[in-house]
Structure 1
Amino acid sequence: MLPQIKKMKRILFSFLMSFAFLNVWAQIPNGYYDGATGLTGAALKTKLKEIITNGHVDHGYNGLYTGYQTTDRDYFYENDGTVLDMYSENPNGPDPYNFTPGNNQCGSYNSEGDCYNREHVVPQSLFSSNAPMVSDIHFIRPTDGYVNGKRSNYPYGKVGTASFTSMNGSKLGNSVSAGYSGTVFEPNDAFKGDIARMIFYFVTRYESQLSNFNTGNMLGGSAYPGLQAWELNQLLAWSAMDPVSQAEIARNNASYTFQGNRNPYIDHPEYVNQVWGTPVVDTQAPTAATNLTAGNPTANSIALNWTAATDNIGVTGYDIYVNGTFYATVTGTSATVSGLAPSTTYTFYIIARDAAGNSSAQSNTATGTTLAGQTGGGTSCGTENFETITVVADAYNTYNWTNNGITWTSTDSRTDQTINNKAITIRNGNLSSTSISGGIQSLTLTTQLKFTGSSNSLNVQINGVTVGTIPYSSTVTTTTISNINISGNIVIKITNPVSGNRVALDDLSWTCFSTLGTAEATKDKAFAIYPNPVRNHELYIKGENLAKISKAEIYDLSGKLIETLINPFKNSNKIQLKGVTKGNYILKTDYFTTKFIVE
């Protein structure tokens, strides 16, 4: 029985220590919020600023680590006294790693779990690292250095597609918070209210200085409301969703003992709504997208268009489904679905989403059929989805990998950013292939600008010759370059010409091409075309019963319909070509299909 008694004593001691920690500073000082009663809006915010400015003692930037010894200890989840880190704490299970107070301070870091440092929830770059803001413990938390670096100085918001996800589910990516489309950082749900109340503290304590701070796409330029509208709405929603916790109360009490002032929005959560109003909780789903159509087929792609959905606050994106399987999310009302098989029928539908995550009903279903692969071009020849990259790193370097018999090399690139799972991100470098057989008729690529920078275009070279450009922006975009028309062995090279822009590349695909001979064979030997190549835009057909052909269609090798002729040979055996330029084309009739060249 002795070991069990000892175990019971250890458990009781741990409980008593935790209880003591929670209650050493358990009370709000009498009269602390005198004068705030009955006030609302800007007047209440200004009064709270006066209250929490009085008594504030600045212990300096280095003093924060001393403060963390009592303000940020885990006596609430694992109850082990380690550093309570918002970016690594797993509120629903064992932490992926822990930091010992005073022993794991950064220093340098290369990955999660290396060390912890000081995270300014409001970035110090916005106030030029000036005192007392730079050392105010109420909004500066100890967090994993690597994740802190990933967050950088981005505002907090709801992430759509994550470019980085920490071990506890904190995310960096494009914003789907209503009113803002830039890059944001989204913390674990358990700490969203904590972060909201820390930012509310900041814009209250320093309201008279906000006009001199940079906004960082989060702060306002005046004392009231103190935040940009989109950020205020997001933080109000988070504050309501994640109420004040015992960990926050204990931290507020310990911070008061250390620094001499308090966070009023932890002591009185009702002040949040009294200052800024009740948040609007969006529970209304968008309407369904309508008039979805599928058209302009090629051998491996189909274009979609639809009429926009509507929402009480705003639609943030559209999920595309192909044969019932999720394909991609786009922000516009059109998209090209690529990577499809030739001569195959596909069904499509769209689901609209808003910033709150509400999803619409399914749109109408559209059906489209890809064209048959052609021996002269249009057949899917190769793909590169970057999934065989084995090294995942944020360091810019040269990387090599092999997929489907092709070896790829990327220079000045990183491998940790994503679009559709893995991607390669080019900074001042390029992506190039080894020699590929089969030629190339068209090339399709998905891009997205990561981090900061401006929209621009990548250069695409085949065998050292530029054949077109691929645009990129912060929005995921898929682009096809058609009519490249190069036969034989090829080398693909994609270059980022803009120094400093970091562009992610994903889902690269291309179609084959081979030069057509002058004695082009037809599907039916009873018919022949001449001359081939065509000159003077006059194409002649030789064969029996030409007058019985009811329709002729002319396509380019991307599958785009150029011209339709009804009863084309009723009066002659000649077609006068219209709307065609130099290149390769397909003639399709009731009886035969053949290819021809226009010089």
Structure 2
Amino acid sequence: LTANTTYEFKVKAKDASGNTSGFSNTVRVTTKEATDTEAPSVPTNLSASNVEETSLSLSWGASTDNVGVTVYDVYQGNVKITSVSSTSYNVTGLTANTTYEFKVKARDAAGNTSGFSNTVSVTTKEGSITDICEGVQTWVSGVSYAIGERVIYRGYVYERTTNGWIKLGKCNASLCEGVDTWVSGVRYKIGDQVIYRGNLWERRATRWILVSSCSEQANKFDLVAPPQRMSTYPNPVRGNILNIVFNPSQGATYSIYNLLGKVVSSGPFKSTVQIDHLQTGTYILKVTSDKTQHVTRFVKE
């Protein structure tokens, strides 16, 4: 039979001599809808265009599906930032002079998802903004803002994150106002900002990124970032993922030792390491980069 189709059935009796009865009652039946288990094809040729300081445009080739593609899920790194029905999306709320990676999945009405498209890596234009609110729109009630978008609300600029809105600063004030100068030996966290050699820098997951010059006299093209110290987060680790904040050279390796000096995990350097096999306790992380060893400790709870 065919799925989701109505049929009628009835029966007659017949004996050996070929005599037949009249029809039985008629039963009317509709078959179940078919279950869609086929995933859409992978989106093709993802590319970026119109790259500016805080925005860019993404476009990709359409996927095919046995029933039909309903949405495309757009990822920034490994975080889904939106779902759209078209084959393009304008990304906003980015940071100037910062490299981002994007990829796309297709999804049908039954929830089947394709594999990821190709990954496109894009570096936004170098910024020249000295007012944190420049170019940011006022918050509008009822609008669904995507992760990374910024708005102005009551004289301050806010950014939408996975954990809600965070306040970035006051409008009509220098980006560098109230920011402390970089201090050697301090273990800075992701999101911390410092002034170093006359420029404003922000600590990201793998490196420092240049935000802005602090004055017209500052050499904005002196892109020497503050020296970094290797660290991990969260520490103590309550889950199974250890995040390493460090930007090593190509070909760097890592090793994790227990307090007896035994290697319990090792391999090519990566910013996230699976540690579900480790027991509760204190461990030593060693990263070898350019023949130099960088060492820190972390605790798994």
Of Structure 1 and Structure 2, which has the larger fraction of its residues in strand?
2
TM-score if structure 2 supplies the norm length? Answer: 0.38
TM-score if structure 1 supplies the norm length? Answer: 0.20
Q: Which has the larger radius of gyration?
A: 1
